[in-house]
Structure 1
Amino acid sequence: MFKLGWFSTGRDEAARLLLQTVFDRIAEGFIPAKMAYVFVSRRPGESAESDLFFKLCEDLGLQTIYLSAREFKPDLRIQDREAWRNEYHRMVLDKLPEEVDLVVLAGYMWVVSEEMCRELPMLNLHPALPGGPKGTWQEVIWQLISARAAETGVMMHRVTPVLDEGPAATFCRFSIRTDSFRSLWEACEKKLLKHGLSAILQTEGENEPLFRKIREEGVKRELPLIVYTLKAFAEGEIDWQAPELPLDLSLRIEKHLETGSWA
């Protein structure tokens, strides 16, 4: 059976929702896989949110391994971040109980080491189309607005030693020029012409209506993209080394958003 590893910092409700949703799709057979382990970069008692994540793992009967990144050699982390990253993730690798076919970084808040990139087939989520804007989700959206983009998307990409540069495995795309966006673009264009982007960043920031709408449309596609990506890997539709990557999952995800069903 296809085996998954799951890496998380367990820092918020979104991390729990991701895990619960994928677990449920596995339990009902939609994703033909086994979740072999969950690794958490915090220890029990380190924070209230991650304790809720640990409780969820326990309730789901998942094998959970942890190593607090914050408490691991803090002096070295300050003095030499790369050396710290290498030592921390070497210890993480030593703790993992078994080999898996795929590892998902799901709300994992640390940059992984080069060694871990070589040792584990890892996927991460990035809120843009392949070849699209790089950076945080906030930076991506501001770049889209600045470029007057017509579309955007979300992708799952392979994790490599160069941050956010791994090739895409799957993606979905959606228009940000539909009727529901039209008035938002018109209002934003007026502000851009009058004040410029930097002024909008300072006065409205993430509360700018077009910014919020783009974020909302991206977020609601992120979890379905993860689910359909794992299903495609587990069923052999795509393979880690497959040359036909990336796989466009847009139609499946839009159908799920329309119907609410997984199919």
Structure 2
Amino acid sequence: MRFISARKMEVLLAALLSRSGQVVTTGQLFTELWGENPPRRASASLHVYISQLRAFLSRPGQSQSSIVTRSPGYLIQVGADDVDALDFESKVEEGRTHAALCRYEDAVASLEAALALWRGPALHDLRDGPLVNTYVTWLEETRVECHEMLIESYLRLGRHREVVGRLQMLIVEYPLREVFYRYLMIALHRAERRAEALHVYQLVRRALNEELGLEPCRSLRELQQAILNGEDASDMLLDGPSSPLLGAR
């Protein structure tokens, strides 16, 4: 297996992949590679990096490079099978479509496959430039949305006991993401763990107060009241302002 050793080439490849199938201008690449102060021979250096990257990406029998010169810059042409990030996007969209059509078993399969592609923080050491940083921010937000859709699909299938541990870990990772507390309260209440469900409400209330000076959102307050009133957990609606599946319909 070959590896790119030069950091500039790594940044260049990440920048092109962040806009896969789109032209990235030379000016954008200058900024990504050198910030606001590109060297006097930036154009020549960029040309060398592009040539080296083309050689690195070449495959036996391939007649055309995946990096194409197209005014006013360059674009890279790759498929989802070549890049995990693109495969992730494809599987998330597939899962979203299944969920919107109430095919929750299929949604779970697609969304689990999407999350399985993650091996840690995306491009965490290449985020100095605006192109890569914006792309990684979007990618990470999509990952959170993927978790939300997956959990809701599990809950709609009645598989609430399976998501309790996962939700507890997600709350540690995203302590201000109210939807995960909401789903955990529902899962615990359905599992006849009412006291624990109410304790989760106190956790989110404390976290929001300490960090932002805010109270929980209306859907969380209403859920707490429903649990206090002893409403039937099986009849508890998932749809609400925070529901990613509702937003997809």
Structure number with the bigger relative contact order (C-alpha 8 A, sep ≥ 6) is 1
Task: Report which of the two has the higher share of strand.
Answer: 1
Task: Report which of the two has the higher share of helix.
Answer: 2
TM-score normalised to structure 2 length: 0.28
- Larger Rg computed on CA atoms: 2
